[in-house]
Structures are given as structure tokens and as C-alpha cells.
Chain A
Amino acid sequence: MRRWIEALFALLLGRLFRRRTAGAQTAGGSGDGSGDGSGDGRIVPAGSPERRAENWVLALLALAVLFAAGFVVSYAEFSPERLPNELLGICIGGALLSITAALTVVARRLVVTEEIEEEYPQEHPKQQSEVAQLVHESGSRFTRKRLLLGAAGATAGALGVAALTPAVSFGPLWDTGPLDESPWRRGRRLVSVDDVPFKASDIYEETFYTAFPEGADKEFIASPLVVVRLDPSAIHLPAGRADWAPDGIVAYSKICTHAGCAIALYRKPTFPVVEPKPMLVCPCHYSTFDPATGATVVYGPAGRPLPQLPLMIDDLGYLRAAGNYSARVGPSWWNVRSDPTFVNKPT
């Protein structure tokens, strides 16, 4: 395979460059510059002139100038909406690649090909032991080296602690309280992304809705809900949630408990006899949650169900939260499964 690529390039470039002549000039001399190869005082051997190659270099540099000018002209000529990105890219790219070609000609035809020899740097056992020795000898006036070193270490530690202390201003180091914040509380109305309150009668089966707490920050992680209506007889919620799904409407946090993407997929069967049950799915790693059983995980890597928000329908028919979530919202962390004590987020 490699030979094919090499052959292709040899073909394409053979027109421009002749193969490197065998018998590259060799110069002797080590890296520090003593000596010469050809015996005439030169460090770099002489090479024959190549006017043709020079002409190529001039031509290619002229081409580069043209491309660069093309860039400037295009930039000036077009307005932003009409300026084609491709044209600019070809101009700059063309200029740079012309320079590349010119330099390639220089490298292959205009610069003498030398092969020099150099000694690999060796080890220096003598200096190594001298360094060790002089450090050891420097301590000749110390009588309690270990104690002094210990004191130095303690000082460094204390200074380090002092230097790190301002970092406390970042906030309390171990307080994961903010992760327990939720804007939902009993009685808060559900609104759409356009701030229109949801009535229970707005929620149809076979589709899904995105809801937020009325008046809250929609971007806060515990704000968005995904709401679906199911056939009440199909719903089997965990214990203690008997009245969480009024009229078959269930609401779950829209933030996936795996890694935090929004649950933006809903799958519903047209013909339940052969087609799979309704499911909420996350598009990132395809964690799949069953809305009829409390958003339990039936496929994909998520480790825990979506937190459920209990709902109630008020006298005017609007959907309201009947409390806070069943569990903490979002991707899991150390304390996520402790009994949730939700902290009300002010807005």
C-alpha cells in the first residue's frame, strides 16, 4: 500500500524534481566545528549552481505574491455576506503552499546535501560524582542536618497552607448543599418554555411536553421537567406515589441521571400489540426510562431512575407541583441517594 502512495507521489513530483542524485556530498567534522571534509577550509561543501531551480523558486514566490494579493483584493472587494470563505482559504492556502513548494525546491536542489557525523552525548560519570560530592561536602558545618531539614519542611508546609488559604474564598470546600437545591415546591404551577401555564386538559397522550416552574430560572438544572400522559391503568409507580399522577399525567426531571443531557426523546407505540412501550430516552448514551413505573432504567448506562415530581390539578384545571422531587436531580454523586432534603432555590 505504501509503495502505491510513494509511486503516486514520485509520478506527480517527478515532473518538478529530479531524483536526488546518488552520491550525496559528505562532509566530516563533529558538532563543534573542528575539521572539514574537502580539505579546502570550507565547513559547508560547495555545490554546483542550479539556475533552473532558482527560476522555479522565483516563479513560486511570485505565485505566492499573487495569492496573497488575491486575499487582500477579495477581502476588500466583497461585503461580509457575499465573501466566499472558500476563496479566502484558497488565497491564503495557495500563498502558503507556494512558499512551501519554493522552500522544497531550495531544500532539494539549492542547498547542498550533506551528511555529517556527530557523537551522541555520553554520560558524564566524573561530573555526576563531583556534583554529588560537592553537595555532600557543603554540609560539613552542619551538626543536626535531619533536624534542620525537618524544620525546613515544616516551614514549607506552613507557608504552603498560608498560600492556599485564600482559596477558601471559592466557597465552602465540602458543602454540596447547592446540589440539593430545587425551585419546585408544593403549589408551583407548571409553565411551558413560552411561560404559558399548562392545564391538565392541554396534556395529550402519545406526545411529550417540556415544563418549568412558573417564574423560575429555566436554565437551572432542577427546573425542566418532561411531562407525559399515560393510560392510568398502565401506571405502576413505586410505593408512596399513589397520587403523584393525577389523571395519568406523570412528570420527571428532564435532566438525565447518567451524565446530564436533556431527555429529548419520547417513543410511543402506534400498535402496542407488537410495538414497544412508551419510553423516555436520552440522546447522549441512550439511557431509556419507563414513565409508567417511575422512570426506571430499562436500557442504557444510567444508574438510577429519573426523579419524579408529584403533580396535582388545581380548581381551575392547571397543573401544579404537589411537592418536591422524589430524589435529587441530575448525574449521580456521593450523596445523591441520601434522603433528599431539598433546599428551596429562591427563584
Chain B
Amino acid sequence: MSDPILEPVRFIDERTASAPLLKKALRYAFPDHWSFLLGEVALYCFILLILTGIYLTFFFDPSTAHTVYHGPYTELDGRTMSAAYKSVLDISFTYKAGLLIRQTHHWAADMFLAAIVIHLLRVFFTGAFRKPRELTWIVGLTLLFVSLLEGYLGYSLVDDLLSGMGLAIGYGVGLSIPIIGGPLMLLLFGAPFPGTPSFWPRMYIAHVLLIPLLLATLIGIHLALVAARHHTQFKESPRHTEKRLIGVPMFPGQAPRSLALMFGTWGVLFLMGGLFQINPIWQWGPFEPYLATNGAQPDWYLGWLIGALRLMPSFDVTVSHFTLIPNPFWGGALFPLVVIGILMAYPWLERKLTGDYRFHNLADRPRDAPNRTAFGVAFVFWVFAIFGFGAADRILVLWNIGYNTQLYIFRVGIWAFPAILFVLVRKLCRELQAAERIERAQHEAESEAEQEHAVLAGGAPPAPG
């Protein structure tokens, strides 16, 4: 009787010599903590983006050629629009399930970036970026910022009023890059905004081919690096050490969990795509460079940039009649560069400041690294506060707090509050550690007392703990 598992395995191994690798992979040890699953959530969002994206490529027309709409959505009847915008209207209204897949794709993009961010926070606050995992950290950060660009290109392809305004701002920020901004944007767009007709296929090929290939490659490298050095682990018991990894094997233990997470991620994303409307482009209407709306916003992961652009006071840096640094550069280009730079350099910065150049396979609990945790919280809050100001106009409409009032509060607050938070969080970490030490000392003292008591009473000492 042939073994239905052994037969194919033998077939593969005879032709690839990979049975040892397969055995090793199947029994790879995963640390079991829930926070190690966050990166997988991002991965599954990415896979769903590819799958739903492939569907959309069959229906999307990446062309700015003008056409007059006479389709099922009567509120846009007679409007002149680009073929790209019209094709997305058709996906939304003419093709069954097109709207579901389009919305799921967009929700998956927003969630992909959110998942990367919480995964990044887990890695940062547990010190998992330290030697020997700095390369994984760098690749991960690259993934974050390339994905950001990918999402921006994706929703700009639709050519609706909101994303068209966002594309104009991207053009403005690009122009503001000192000296080279003008030629660079002309190179990219082919002509002054809105660019030549070939700009749209350029965006399209970047979004559906070049960047996904880059992302897939980077994800592959990222996963290979993780597997090569193995995951970090928390020190849950004396048996968890820098040399010994204790975890659940990939097969059979981890596999159903990962699969469950995959289907669960996809399920949540499709539910979102069905239940929550996202980017109702028919309500915004098609984009024209001479049209605009109040309250235009980029997708959430670019909100930090609109906040920064709005916070800057008015000045261009000029040298005689040359404009060295136009205003958007500070908020739109320098600010994100600084954030990326600090994040990328952080493993080396921390090494230098702490003098700790050793290998680390054990993850810290956030409280065990008060300076890092405090810095992380302060840094995240700095970015988050700038992001928050980007919504100041809605805060005004909702709660009647003056825009100018908010401007002054935020201009001070984005520096003052992180500083205060740094001090507070560091204190909190140290107090938590101190409380634990006291508890542990008490516990030890109690068990010692129990032992002595048992010995005095004439019995065997009870089991420790």
C-alpha cells in the first residue's frame, strides 16, 4: 500500500534533494507569543492585494483620454472624465462584485500599512532590531516606505477629485526638492502638471508591476533573514536563553494557526470591503486641475505629511533670485526623510549610546528598556501629533475649536508633549521594574519562610515555587 504522503515527498526529494531542508522547515520553532503574528497579518494583506489587484487589472483603463459619461450612475451623466476614472466607475457599477473587490483592495492597502506599523512597533519596543537582525530591520523599513508609495500611486490612478489634488501636491513637493526638483518632476511627469498622456501608464506600470516585484523580493529577503537567524523570543522561563529557542514547530503546530490567521485576515478584509464604503469616487467626481474641495485628505498613512505641510510657517528660502528651498520641502520631503533616517539608523544609534554590541536573541519587554521605550513613545507621539493636525479643519467643524488656535497649540505641542512623554514613560518603566523586583523579593522571602517552616515542622521541604 503506497503512502500518499511519502510518495510525493520522495518524488520531490529525488529531483531536488530537498528533504533535509523540508524536514528542517517543518520543524522550525516559532515562539508562541501573539505579537509575533503581526508581521504575518501584513503578509496576508499583501497577498490579498495581489489577488484583488489582478482582478482589477482586467477592468482598469490607465488612460487620461477624455470621454463623456453616460453610464448607470446618473449623477455624473454628461460629465467629461478620463477613461481611467470611467473604468473605475464601471468596476463599481457595471461589473457585479467589482465594487466589493475594489473596496477590499483599498481596505487591504490601508490595513497593510497599519499592520506594518504595528509590527514595526512590536519589533521596536521588544528590541528585536538589535544585532544580528539589523538587516531585517532595514529591509522592513524599506518595505514600509515603498508600500506607502505604492498605496499613493494606487489611489491616484483612479483620477478622482480627491486623489488628483493629492497628485498635484506630490508634484508640488517634488518640485520643492532643492535645485533638482524642477527637472526631476519634468522627467517624471513629462510636462508640467498634469503631465503628458504617457504619465498615467507610467504610474500604472509602477503600481502593478515594478513596485509589486520589488515588494515581493523585499518580503522574500525579509522572511529569509528572519528564518536564517530565527525569531527572537521572550524570556518566559529560565529555559529560554540566548542560545536555546523554545517554540511551537511549524508543522503541525504553527501551520493551522498561520492558515487561520490568513483566512481570518482575508475574511475581515472582505467584510470591510462589503460593509464599509471606502473612496466613493462617484461622490467626489472626476479631477480637473482647476477644481478643488474643502476637506481633501490623503489616505491615512500620508496624513503625517499633510499635517506637516499645514504646520509650516510661510517662507521660501531664496538666494538672490534663486529659490533654494521652496516651502513644501520641509513638511513634504525633509520631515519624512528625517523620520526614515532616524528609524533606519536607530539600531546603530542605540548601540553607540548604550555601548551594547552583543548578540540579542531574547526580546525585551518594553519596561526592561526604559530609555528605548520612552524614546519610542515620544517619537511615535511626535509623528502622531503632526498627523493629528492634518485633521484640524474637521476638528473645527465638529467641535468649534478655532483653526488658528489649534495651529498655535500644535506648533508648541508637537515638541513639548513628546518631551514630557519621554520623561513620564521612562519613569513608568522604571517604577514597573521596581515594583516587580519588590514582588519577586517578597515572593522569594515568602517561599524561603515556607521552606524553613516546613523543615522546622519536620516534613520534607515543599517543592520550590
Inter-subunit contact B264/A100 (CB<8 Å): yes
**B313 interfacial by beta-carbon distance below 8 Å:** yes
Inter-subunit contact B275/A224 (CB<8 Å): no
Take A31-B28, A97-B263, A107-B256 as given contacts and tell me if A287 and B361 are in contact as well, using a CB distance cutoff of 8 Å. no
The interface-forming segment of A109-117, A156-164, A235-243 is A109-117
**A176 interfacial by beta-carbon distance below 8 Å:** yes
**B260 interfacial by beta-carbon distance below 8 Å:** yes
Take A283-B294, A334-B323 as given contacts and tell me if A114 and B245 are in contact as well, using a CB distance cutoff of 8 Å. no
Inter-subunit contact A113/B264 (CB<8 Å): no
Within 8 A of B (CB), among A22-67: 29, 31-33, 43-44
The number of residues on chain A lying at the interface, defined by a beta carbon within 8 Å of a beta carbon of chain B, is 94
**A203 interfacial by beta-carbon distance below 8 Å:** no
The residue that A210 contacts in the complex, of B24, B93, B290, B295, with Cβ under 8 A, is B290
Q: How far is the CA of A115 from the CA of B331 in the complex (A)?
A: 50
Question: Smallest distance from the beta carbon of B361 to chain A beta carbons, Å?
Answer: 5
Inter-subunit contact A81/B27 (CB<8 Å): no
The interface-forming segment of B175-183, B216-224, B409-417 is B175-183
Residues of A within 8 A of B187 (CB): 170-171, 173
Inter-subunit contact A32/B23 (CB<8 Å): yes
Inter-subunit contact B289/A333 (CB<8 Å): no
**A186 interfacial by beta-carbon distance below 8 Å:** no
Take A31-B29, A301-B314 as given contacts and tell me if A89 and B275 are in contact as well, using a CB distance cutoff of 8 Å. yes
Considering the complex, give the chain A residue whose CB is closest to the CB of B393.
Answer: A286
Inter-subunit contact B175/A332 (CB<8 Å): yes
The residue that A260 contacts in the complex, of B193, B296, B312, with Cβ under 8 A, is B193
Q: How far is the CA of A87 from the CA of B96 in the complex (A)?
A: 12
The interface-forming segment of A118-126, A140-148, A267-275, A314-322 is A118-126
The residue that A112 contacts in the complex, of B190, B252, B309, with Cβ under 8 A, is B252
The interface-forming segment of B97-105, B378-386, B440-448 is B97-105
Residues of B within 8 A of A118 (CB): 28-29, 230, 244-247
Q: How far is the CA of A115 from the CA of B249 in the complex (A)?
A: 7
Considering the complex, give the chain A residue whose CB is closest to the CB of B403.
Answer: A286
Inter-subunit contact B173/A117 (CB<8 Å): no
The interface-forming segment of A10-18, A130-138, A213-221 is A213-221
What size tier do the contact residues of chain B reach? 35 or more
Residues of A within 8 A of B239 (CB): 117
Inter-subunit contact B93/A80 (CB<8 Å): yes
**B53 interfacial by beta-carbon distance below 8 Å:** no
Within 8 A of A (CB), among B232-263: 239, 242-249, 252-253, 256-257, 259-261, 263
Residues of A within 8 A of B230 (CB): 118, 120-121
Residues of A within 8 A of B245 (CB): 117-120
Question: Smallest distance from the beta carbon of A318 to chain B beta carbons, Å?
Answer: 21
**B336 interfacial by beta-carbon distance below 8 Å:** no
Interface of A, helix, strand, loop or mixed by DSSP: loop
Question: Smallest distance from the beta carbon of B236 to chain A beta carbons, Å?
Answer: 11
Residues of A within 8 A of B186 (CB): 171, 175-176, 178-179
**B293 interfacial by beta-carbon distance below 8 Å:** yes
**B172 interfacial by beta-carbon distance below 8 Å:** yes
Inter-subunit contact A100/B248 (CB<8 Å): no
Inter-subunit contact B263/A332 (CB<8 Å): no
Q: How far is the CA of A102 from the CA of B194 in the complex (A)?
A: 51
Within 8 A of A (CB), among B1-48: 20, 23-24, 27-29
Residues of A within 8 A of B294 (CB): 264-265, 283
Considering the complex, give the chain A residue whose CB is closest to the CB of B312.
Answer: A301
Question: Smallest distance from the beta carbon of B193 to chain A beta carbons, Å?
Answer: 5
Inter-subunit contact A303/B169 (CB<8 Å): no
Considering the complex, give the chain B residue whose CB is closest to the CB of A78.
Answer: B96
Considering the complex, give the chain A residue whose CB is closest to the CB of B251.
Answer: A44
Residues of B within 8 A of A247 (CB): none
Question: Smallest distance from the beta carbon of A223 to chain B beta carbons, Å?
Answer: 7
Inter-subunit contact B267/A104 (CB<8 Å): no
Q: How far is the CA of A297 from the CA of B273 in the complex (A)?
A: 43
Question: Smallest distance from the beta carbon of A35 to chain B beta carbons, Å?
Answer: 11
Most buried by B among A116, A282, A299: A116
Considering the complex, give the chain B residue whose CB is closest to the CB of A33.
Answer: B23
**A302 interfacial by beta-carbon distance below 8 Å:** yes
**B228 interfacial by beta-carbon distance below 8 Å:** yes
Q: How far is the CA of A93 from the CA of B313 in the complex (A)?
A: 47
Residues of B within 8 A of A262 (CB): 165, 289-292
Q: How far is the CA of A48 from the CA of B383 in the complex (A)?
A: 52
Question: Smallest distance from the beta carbon of B17 to chain A beta carbons, Å?
Answer: 15
**B152 interfacial by beta-carbon distance below 8 Å:** no
Within 8 A of B (CB), among A72-121: 75, 78, 80-81, 83, 85-90, 92-97, 99-100, 103-104, 106-107, 110-121
**B51 interfacial by beta-carbon distance below 8 Å:** no
The residue that B171 contacts in the complex, of A173, A218, A260, A265, with Cβ under 8 A, is A260
Take A75-B97, A89-B275 as given contacts and tell me if A334 and B182 are in contact as well, using a CB distance cutoff of 8 Å. yes
Q: How far is the CA of A106 from the CA of B186 in the complex (A)?
A: 57
Residues of B within 8 A of A297 (CB): 314
Q: How far is the CA of A338 from the CA of B318 in the complex (A)?
A: 11
**B402 interfacial by beta-carbon distance below 8 Å:** no
Considering the complex, give the chain B residue whose CB is closest to the CB of A106.
Answer: B256
Q: How far is the CA of A304 from the CA of B323 in the complex (A)?
A: 11
The residue that A89 contacts in the complex, of B274, B293, B326, with Cβ under 8 A, is B274
Residues of A within 8 A of B260 (CB): 100, 103-104, 106-107
Residues of B within 8 A of A75 (CB): 96-97
The residue that B253 contacts in the complex, of A114, A254, A302, with Cβ under 8 A, is A114
Take A97-B267, A259-B309, A301-B309 as given contacts and tell me if A219 and B246 are in contact as well, using a CB distance cutoff of 8 Å. no
Q: How far is the CA of A300 from the CA of B276 in the complex (A)?
A: 34
Residues of B within 8 A of A223 (CB): 290
Q: Can you give 17 contacting A-B residue pairs, CB < 8 Å? A: A33-B23, A78-B96, A92-B267, A96-B264, A97-B267, A107-B257, A115-B248, A116-B246, A117-B29, A119-B245, A178-B191, A261-B296, A284-B169, A285-B309, A301-B327, A333-B182, A337-B322
Q: Which 6 A-B pairs have the closest CB atoms?
A: A89-B274, A259-B172, A303-B316, A96-B267, A331-B172, A93-B271
Q: Chain A interface (Cβ within 8 Å of chain B)?
A: 29, 31-33, 43-44, 75, 78, 80-81, 83, 85-90, 92-97, 99-100, 103-104, 106-107, 110-122, 170-171, 173-176, 178-179, 181, 193, 210, 212, 218-224, 254-255, 258-265, 282-287, 297, 299-304, 330-339
Q: Beyond the given A116-B247, A118-B247, A221-B193, please list 13 additional residue pairs across the A-B interface where CB-CB is below 8 A.
A: A90-B275, A92-B100, A92-B267, A92-B274, A95-B267, A117-B246, A119-B244, A210-B290, A265-B294, A283-B295, A303-B326, A331-B176, A334-B322
